[in-house]
Structure 1
Amino acid sequence: MTDVEAELRAQFEDAFGAADFPVENQMDLVPALPNGPGTTFEAGDVSFSAMELATKLSGHQEFPYHSLDELVDDVMAALKSEGML
């Protein structure tokens, strides 16, 4: 795992950790985000908002998620698959 990946993973865990699991869809995650859909994740030269994540990664997500690790693992894998990392 690169430093950028580790930093993003930590940010996702912080941001989504307050969600009430299981989460059934993307909208269940919005209340957990510190700045709602405008929450921005940044590491190294990579930056994207929660809205960008939702749009670009929607085809990769398999709701419901029963744990934070399951959700963050899928987000990280989707970012790599989409060439965003």
Structure 2
Amino acid sequence: MVDEETEAELREQFTDAFEGADYPVSNPMDLVPALPNGPGTRFEAGDVSFTAMELSTKMSDTQDFPYDDVDSLVDDLVEGLKQKDMI
């Protein structure tokens, strides 16, 4: 079951981290300059914790680059985490 509070916290953290990217983005590397701590940027909510690099590796098969805006990227990340039972 999806923890709605965890999902909301992660959605907010992803949006904050990725909204500064230069859209459209064509691959995960296009997002790195926007991250406050680069690939080591950590996302934490509830019992969930992972770095941007771990997220990229785990979500590589659920992301559909290119993304034209932060909302569509964040939607796919959250949906991918749900599919993999990570949230």
- TM-score tier by shorter-chain length is over 0.9
Q: Which residue is equivalent to 1:79?
A: 81
* TM, length-normalised to structure 2: 0.95
Q: Which residue is equivalent to 2:18?
A: 16
1:68 aligns with 2:58: no
Q: Which residue is equivalent to 2:28?
A: 26
% identical equivalent positions: 65
* TM, length-normalised to structure 1: 0.97
1:61 is displaced (CA, Å) by: 0.7
Q: Which runs of 5+ in 1 are unaligned?
A: none
What is the alpha-carbon root mean square deviation over aligned residues? 0.9
**Number of equivalenced pairs:** 85
1:64 is displaced (CA, Å) by: 0.4
Rounded to whole Å, the distance in 2 between the matches of 1:45 and 1:39 is 17
Amino acid at match of 1:60: T
Amino acid at match of 1:13: T
